[in-house]
Amino acid sequence: MNFIDTAAVEISSGKGGRGHISFRHEKSVANGGPDGGNGGKGGNVIVVADPQLATLMDFRYKRNYHAEDGNPGEKYKCTGRSGNDLVIKLPLGTVIHDTTSDKILADLDTPGKEIIIARGGRGGRGNAEFMTPTNQAPRNAEPGEPAEELSIVLELKILADVGIVGFPNAGKSTLISVISAAKPKIADYPFTTLIPNLGMVRLADSKSYTVADIPGLIEGAHEGRGLGIQFLRHIERTRVLVFMLDAANEDIKKDYKVLCNELKKYSPEMLKKPQIVCISKIDTVLEEDRKNWKRMKFGGQSPFPISAAIGENIEELKWKIWEVLKGEKKN
């Protein structure tokens, strides 16, 4: 499956049907008056959050979406049929922007959420509506209201409780593969992860939370370097950040500062989230290095050493994340 998280499309509601002009001519009806009916209402454009969808790929190939127009009014004061609504299913977490005003039209942050983003035009009145004591035979009717036309941008922001951030090849994908059922591509070279990965972590007593792993960040990511900047939007709405620092790197304190700086430049709100700082791949270093970590502080807290490869401290990390999530929820 190709992962696409942005798309620009054109939408329009249905226009209202035109009012009808007609008069009754039956022999049995004396002085038959106007009987033109009203036009039907145009269809709305409705967006719906569908948890079964995970990409905006379809919207890269089809760019124009139109609800049905209302039908014209008919004789015998019959109202025209209303146009059918157009229902567009979008992945959960999709944000819809109006490209003209940059206003957010909808944020599909809960499953099944429905929002009308373009309303159909009202049907025009038929000539029967214009009859008055002084005008018994009106020969005018209204056109239907025009459609609402919008240029919009769809932006998918994955909804997860926890976001995993780190440099390329820091062990993020390996971690999500051992704490959840997610199966990301894993290899011993940078930028193996090219798309966000989402996994569900299940604990005892039916406790669970979702974790998102994004492509690795590098210094200058906020300016567009590397791949991570394209996907930082996917951890904007996470409640907790897990930093992955590679134990084999010479200066993990510097690594942490660079990551924090990139997140801050993308959005200062990022660093207001609770953090858990992990030192990964501890099975690859000497015991002396482990002793040095005990004296270090990252954002005022001690690091959490782990090895996803051999499972060291992994279960403890899963519960640590749960405790932080639980505390954050209370706040």
Is the pLDDT confidence value at 226 over 90?
no
* Rounded distance between C-alpha atoms, residue 113 and residue 172, angstroms: 32
Identity at 4, one-letter amino acid code: I
The residue with greater pLDDT, 213 or 42, is 42
- pTM of this prediction? 0.72
Nearest-CA neighbor of 296 among 325, 240, 255?
Answer: 255
Nearest-CA neighbor of 107 among 94, 98, 119?
Answer: 94
Query: pLDDT tens digits, residue range 28-59?
Result: 665 678 999 999 999 999 999 998 888 888 89
CB 139 within 8 A of CB 127: yes
pLDDT at 291: 73
Residue 185: pLDDT band with limits 50, 70, 90: very low
Is the pLDDT confidence value at 183 over 70?
no
Q: Given the structure tokens 């459609």, which residue do they identify?
A: 147
pLDDT at 58: 86
Q: Please count the other Cβ atoms lying within 10 Å of the Cβ belonging to residue 38.
A: 28
Quick one: tokens of 51? 């948890």
pLDDT at 319: 92
CB 165 within 8 A of CB 243: yes
CB 272 within 8 A of CB 235: no
Query: pLDDT tens digits, residue range 57-96?
Result: 889 889 999 999 999 999 999 999 999 999 999 998 899 9
In the chain, what are the domains? 1-156 (2.70.210.12), 162-330 (3.40.50.300)
Q: Given the structure tokens 């039209």, which residue do they identify?
A: 105
Give Cα 61 to chain centroid, integer Å.
Answer: 19
User: CA torsion angle for 324, 310, 281, 275 (degrees, to 10)?
Assistant: 0
Find the range with the poorest average confidence among 200-209, 215-224, 316-325.
Answer: 215-224
Query: pLDDT tens digits, residue range 235-270?
Result: 888 889 999 998 888 888 999 998 998 888 888 988
Q: What is the mean pLDDT of residues 129-154?
A: 93
Cβ-count burial 130-139 (b if 16+ within 10 Å, e if not): beeeeeeebe
